[in-house]
Structure 1
Amino acid sequence: MSTFLSGFALSFSLILAIGSQNAFVLKQGIKRHHVFVVCAVCALSDAVLISLGVAGFGAIVKQFPAIETVARYGGATFLAVYAFLSFKSAFATSHAMTAAGDTRQSLPKTVAICLAFTWLNPHVYLDTVVLLGSISTQYQPAQGLFALGAICASLVFFFSLGYGARVLAPVFQRPQAWKVLEFVVGVMMTTIAATLVMGA
């Protein structure tokens, strides 16, 4: 049980910080658009990455740094585009329909964006595949239990964030609140993108 809790606590602490993926989940939760699917995609993606890390894929990433490089620049490009769209939305969109709850992205588009936030983020690989994967070796032969704890933490976090976000919904009945959120998200995405490039 202690091995399970160790995996749970470490994984939860790694994903707790608000990043690009978490900001997207928060926005979808406030809008109440495809919340279950978005949370499920994030949690299942983490489950796959954690499983790969525990299975030894972290060693492959270390051996072939090109994988991390592709994820770094691909992620920076994606975040820069998303930041531009967020700033455009903050300054050029009325958000009257958004505040009224009338706008909705298609499910395929939402899933595609969610997958991009997950799989084009090099920090996800470093946290789930490399870090959790390497730490799990300390819990042999109970690595599977450690991985299960880490996966459960991801599941609990994303569904709590997605469905807990609706508490903020009354605030976002005002179009101005959406403009502020879009601006904050734009700043966040720009900062993360710049960090990825400068950290290369």
Structure 2
Amino acid sequence: MDASTATTLQNLLARRRSVRRYTDEAVPLSTLLNILSAGQGRTSAEGKRAAPSAHALYPLTLGVIVRRVEGLQPGFYAFDPESAQLKLSGPDLEAGVLNEAALGDETWLEDAAVVVAIIGNRELALQHFAEQQTDGLRGARYIDFEAGAVAQNMYLAVTAEGLGSVVVMGFDDAAMKSALKLGESSHPVALFCVGRSAD
């Protein structure tokens, strides 16, 4: 790593902060795609992604709750790592449902222009790594680690784009799964709010 690259990374790390107050400004679509690509975008011809995954299993997906994005109608989208594009997968969530599933009054879940749901296929990971640990739960550790790497990559991308973000993990798992209308094998790991900082 040359000195200028190191300085850029150090600056991003120094400026990265959790932001919980957002303006009503819309996020450009190209900016959102850059942020999502930093989290789960494909980075090689072999299918490697921006965040590491044990055994290249990639049990995570990104669901994107779009409220205010230029050129996109509000709705629930899926990010496709192969094409680095969003595909509409459902209607916009009802106002208040994310905060209702939170453990506290986390109004930023409702105010952010975008909320990225980091979703894990827990059963896939548990089955794949079952023999690594006597209780068969090693896969859960890998999912949590991978989700942390995805979130940190997106934090840095958000900072580089001049926006604000905060990760939320304080929610009732079953209530959030229901709020997001996830399938049986999909479980919410974290929510990542994105928008223009109001501070």
TM-score (norm 2): 0.29
Q: Which gives a bigger RCO, structure 1 or 2 (Cα 8 Å, sep 6+)?
A: 1
TM-score (norm 1): 0.28
Bigger Rg over Cα: 1
Larger proportion of helix: 1
Larger proportion of strand: 2
